[in-house]
Amino acid sequence: MGQLFSDTSKNEDNGDLVSSFNAYFKNINTENKIISQEFMVLIELCVNIGNIHCANTLIREALKIIDNAPINIAVTGESGAGKSSFINALIGIGPEEEGAAEVGVIETTIKRTSYKHPKIETLILWDLPGIGTQKFPPKTYLEEVKFKEYDFFIIVSATRFTKLELDLARAIRIMKKNYYFVRTKVDMDVENERKSKSRTFDREKTLKQIQSYSVKTFNENNMTVPPIFLISNYDLSGYDFPVLMDTLIKDLHVHKRHNFMLSLPNFTEAVIDRKHKAIQQFIWLEAFIFRVLATFSVVSIVRDNDVEKLKKNLNHYRKLFGVDDESLELMAKDFQVPVEQVKEIMKSPHLLKTNREETLEEKLLKYSEKVASANDELLPTGLYFCGNFYLQFHFLDTVTEDAKVLLRWTYSKTSSNSTYP
């Protein structure tokens, strides 16, 4: 495999490969990278010494690990704390949709219950029974709920954290697992305060009081105060939900970040950009393998057998970003508008549509040439990839912009329908 490069050009090509690889990942924040530093160093070493087979194998191995990395999140708390709504918010589905956790019912969690993410097969959220029940006494709780299986615990409360929950946190720490305290329903607390003190109401002051009350609980129990996240399960961007997600991404193993970032609901443009960057890295690594195996630069070539794969990729991106046909139909139904009205503001549903004067292959070739002419950001050293990968970048960019347009449209519709001033 190392003989793919001629003796006269091998060092120069290898230098370009290493330079391109390093330059691309250098511009990505550490907490957003989907490949570990150890893998990056090994890949660079393989390319430097001309062992192309080694570099190719390492990248393929990294991509496989990233794509299949399991993520198990445990959610626990007392009945009525909003666990089910929190789980539904994390997996991005409504309470009446298939696969949702039941909301507003009598506590039925007598055993741990799993909820699979509808778009990310490797992500599972586990609704755990409350600690201290007859079937789950504190001393055996962690063993009973199989604590070793989870990447981290989220302890949810709608009032104050109980002594049992604090004891659980102590035990989790002893087991060297991460845990996070989440105070839910703060939107209801803020609204109740606004109604009762309409003249003197101060939103930030109210939130600080809720935070202080939670901190006091830990102080009274002689515990180090952990980060406490104040959230609303129905207004994800309005409180600490974005900060919680940032923290989870940062604390997760690097190979698990990719799928977790893709699992996030599109509640802010920053989240959409983060998902875009994660997928872009994945495409870039796949494209890098192709360039490593190539004996010459291949630009803007779209082969017949690439078309179906490209269609599949486009549909996959649309689904991940919530702009696929099924998601748009649900959105239109929620806002009681024709789905065609929603699709009018989208570009991705029309990317592969053709007319009589132009075949799909010709249209894809035009896209490929257009993206290839503006590749400085993706390929900082002038390295070229085949048209297939340029098209994936183009599809991803288009879908990302559609997700932002849809988010703005949703906010405008929600604001116009709001009963609050």
**Which residues fall within 8 angstroms of residue 300, CB to CB, at 6 or more apart?**
365, 368, 369, 372, 387, 390
**Which residues fall within 8 angstroms of residue 43, CB to CB, at 6 or more apart?**
21, 55, 58, 59
Question: In the predicted model, what is the mean pLDDT of the chain?
Answer: 82
Q: Are strands 71-77 and 228-230 parallel, antiparallel or unpaired?
A: unpaired
What pLDDT shows up at residue 101? 82
On the question of pLDDT at 342 being above 90, the answer is yes
Strand order in the sheet with 152-157: 113-116, 123-127, 71-77, 152-157, 178-183, 228-230
Q: pLDDT: is 79 or 411 the higher one?
A: 411
Burial of 291 (0-12, 13-18, 19+ CB in 10 A): buried
Backbone CA torsion sign across 190, 191, 197, 201: positive
pLDDT in tens, 9-25: 445 555 566 677 777 78
What would the mean pLDDT of 289-293 be, rounded to a whole number?
A: 64
pLDDT in tens, 108-125: 556 789 999 999 999 999
User: Do 332 and 338 contact (CB within 8 A), yes or no?
Assistant: yes
Closest Cα to residue 256, out of 418, 1, 31, 417?
31
On the question of pLDDT at 373 being above 80, the answer is no
CA distances from 241 to 17, 181, 252, 339 (A): 39, 12, 16, 30
Domains, the chain, ranges and CATH?
Answer: 2-66+266-417 (no CATH), 70-252 (3.40.50.300)
What number of other Cβ atoms are within 10 A of residue 161's Cβ? 24
Q: pLDDT: is 175 or 417 the higher one?
A: 175
On the question of pLDDT at 400 being above 60, the answer is yes
* Amino acid identity for residue 45 in this structure: L
pLDDT in tens, 183-222: 999 999 999 999 999 889 999 999 999 999 889 988 998 8
What pLDDT shows up at residue 382? 41
On the question of pLDDT at 361 being above 50, the answer is yes
pLDDT in tens, 295-316: 444 444 555 667 788 889 999 9
Q: pTM of the full predicted structure?
A: 0.85
Among 73-82, 140-149, 302-311, 395-404, the minimum mean pLDDT is found in 302-311
